Structure 1
Amino acid sequence: MEDLKNLKRVTQKEIAKRLGISRTTVARAINGSEFIKEETKSKILELASKLNYEKNYIGSSLANQKEKIVHCLVAYSFNEFYTSEIIRGLNTVSKEYSIYNYNLKITATEIHSPDKQIELLKKILKEDDIDGLIITPLNRDVIYDILEPYFNKIKIISIGTRLSEKIAHVGPNHIKQGAMAAGIVSNMLRDDEGLLIIDNGDDKISSGMYLEGFLERIKHTNISILGPILCGNIEDSIYTIKEMCVKYDIKGIYINRYAQEIYDIIDKNILNGKKIVTHGMAGSIKSLIKSGIISFTIMEEVFMEGYDAGKMMFEMIYKNHITNNWKVSDSKVIFFENLSI
């Protein structure tokens, strides 16, 4: 350890080398990241203290820059878990990189109010000193037209729903998620058993693509498909499910939107014995999985979407790492057996 003490300036790289870990792990410990074991963090901070490591030295040229402002316009969804986890991911990045004057200004716009998001975006572009924009576009065509003149002026990342192949994106492959749901439920049902499909429309973020992927995959099975039946809202969906379950021997149900609200309200006796699949995660979905009503759900790593988008934006602004890549978020299949209680 003496050889390190005698170094004029101790770096994260030197600490990492001494401990046999990556520099990224050292940086996370020093910046207070959640993504590191407490035992590892303690070892890193102890060694950093012994070596008189100065946190501000690494990247000091970045830390001394003027404040960089990134507006984050995310969607406020019926599924509060989705919104809160996106925001938590963004806030985690903001905290980790606060030393560099990296300021994320987060605003959630109601998912059914795309016009409000458009008005807010216009105001930000007109009035604010903005270095970057992270956005879940609620009206892709209009948002694209507004932002196109700014593609070479500010850094832009879409999140959740891809805005354009010309700019960077973080989010899942919703079509693939729909296909995953169909593939798994098809193995739960026998040939000729009835599967009811309810279409509650496109929320402009994911539900339309969920259904597209589900239908493309399920058509290659011998399951008896009833639907998709267009309902468009919770009340009509409940009525349709009741009616169809009386008329037909339904063994499975798939709903692309409002599923958790529908299953919360509907008479559970109607659902007993049926294979039910949904998307996303929330407290009510957990309860329905525990009770055996929902067979499984497919969820994306929402927290990591926010975190990765914020980190990617940091790289673009401070290191001029320009990309138009799509960072595909991981998807998880959650059954009762792997449900986090």
Structure 2
Amino acid sequence: MSVTIKDIAKLAGVSHTTVSRALNNSPLISEETKAKIKTIAAELNYTPNYNARSLVLDRSYNIGLFFSTIHEGTSSSFFYEVVRGVNHIVHKEFKLIVSGIDDYVDFHSINRKHFDGIIVMSQSTKDDSFIYNILEKNIPLVVLNREIQDAPIMNILSDDRNGAYKAVEYLIHRGHKKLAIIEGKKGFKSAQERKDGFFQALIDHNITITKDFIVEGKYDSESGYKAMKELLRLSDTPTAVFCSNDDMAVGAMKAIAEQGLKIPDDISLMGFDDNVFSPFLSPALTTVKRPVEEISKEGAKKLLDLIHGEQVTKEILHINTRLQIRESVGRMKVMD
């Protein structure tokens, strides 16, 4: 039989209400009593009954983690890192419910009865109606991955534009002037930021922007494969390709290999994200480290602060990207 709050109360010599308050860090209970009760609970391997606690405290003990979509444009590695980061912070106190915004016809079930707080991993302005619906219902909210400028929301995101700029600048410093881009999913803010960084680097270094070197992708391996095939069919092919995420870079690698070409001898390849598999590709992928798990952990910490009534400054927090130099980018040979 599982241990209950009443069992802990008997051993501690206090009421079950005191135990409940102590385990929820109530300011009404002294630190000494809290410590005593938590020690007993740990020794008994007490596991909270969330359903019972929610009835008593009028809380669900659920945290919602919502993606713009989990069907298209959200890679498995990105999804995994986000969920792992958030769950690492909240799992001791809350159940994590993961879903896609596009799974909902309406937002009637998104309320304080079902969620104590919500994290939105936002990719598109299409998410705005969902975000404003949460704000109207006064549910504690943190938005990751996309900047929301006209609302008092805690935003945490990576500096994708600067990351892409540094990646392309590295390619230029390695002697590449014929640079192509496989774009991310159309309508996604991250795709636009990376594209802007790509273009700005070319402009700043007086590199010609070639229209045929700009190819659409969808953030998945298949679209990277098709886009790379399209680039390789050109009469004048690029010497280096910037892929807007690592999944598309994997598809591009397959297309290059099928053409009988070698990376980086014949063509250089740059990714973005630094997925868990990127160092183990052959050749290992040079890419931009996007701190997805760090962003997710920080977002979860801020959300818990909001739920617990702590003062949180509603601000936009950028977490820096960094270049991961490996084997997939070569130096252009100087022609005699």
Classify the TM-score, shorter chain: 0.5 to 0.7
Q: Deviations over 1:57-113 (max 9, x none)?
A: 9xxxxx999344321113535532211111111111113xx3xxx31423143xxxx
The equivalent residue for 1:275 is: 268
1:298 Cα deviation after fit: 0.2
TM value normalised by structure 2: 0.67
The equivalent residue for 1:291 is: 283
Flag the 1:303–1:150 CA change in 2: closer, same or farther, 3 A: closer
Of 100, 115, 118, which aligns to 1:130? Answer: 115
Aligned counterparts of 2:313 and 2:102: Cα–Cα separation in 1: 29
1:275 Cα deviation after fit: 2.7
Matches within 5 A, 1:1-12: none
Q: Is the 8 A contact 1:89 1:304 kept in 2?
A: yes
The equivalent residue for 2:214 is: 229
Q: Is the 8 A contact 1:156 1:168 kept in 2?
A: yes
Q: Is the 8 A contact 1:242 1:270 kept in 2?
A: no
- Computed over aligned residues only, the root mean square deviation of the Cα atoms, in angstroms, reads 3.1
The equivalent residue for 2:326 is: 336
1:107 equivalent to 2:107? Answer no
Secondary structure of 1:90 counterpart: helix
The equivalent residue for 1:174 is: 160
Q: Deviations over 1:34-53 (max 9, x none)?
A: xxxxxxxxxxxxxxxxxxx6
Aligned counterparts of 1:276 and 1:103: Cα–Cα separation in 2: 42
Aligned counterparts of 1:88 and 1:271: Cα–Cα separation in 2: 35
| Count of residues in Structure 1 that have an aligned counterpart in Structure 2 | 262
Name the one with the larger helix percent: 1
Aligned counterparts of 1:249 and 1:125: Cα–Cα separation in 2: 50
1:186 Cα deviation after fit: 1.6
Of 162, 178, 181, which aligns to 1:197? Answer: 181
Flag the 1:283–1:265 CA change in 2: closer, same or farther, 3 A: farther
1:56 equivalent to 2:38? Answer yes
TM value normalised by structure 1: 0.66
Secondary structure of 2:233 counterpart: helix
Instruction: Give the letter aligned to residue 233 of structure 2.
Output: E
Secondary structure of 1:286 counterpart: helix
The equivalent residue for 1:32 is: none
Percent identity between the aligned chains?
A: 11
Q: Deviations over 1:149-190 (max 9, x none)?
A: 542612111112234452111220222222122222221125
Flag the 1:311–1:165 CA change in 2: closer, same or farther, 3 A: farther
Flag the 1:80–1:203 CA change in 2: closer, same or farther, 3 A: farther
The equivalent residue for 2:30 is: none
1:279 Cα deviation after fit: 0.3
Aligned counterparts of 1:173 and 1:165: Cα–Cα separation in 2: 19
Flag the 1:234–1:334 CA change in 2: closer, same or farther, 3 A: closer
Q: Is the 8 A contact 2:143 2:155 kept in 1?
A: yes
Matches within 5 A, 1:43-122: 54=36, 56=38, 66=57, 67=59, 68-74=61-67, 76=70, 79-95=75-91, 98=92, 102-109=93-100, 115-116=102-103, 118-119=104-105, 122=107
1:263 equivalent to 2:263? Answer no
1:249 Cα deviation after fit: 5.4
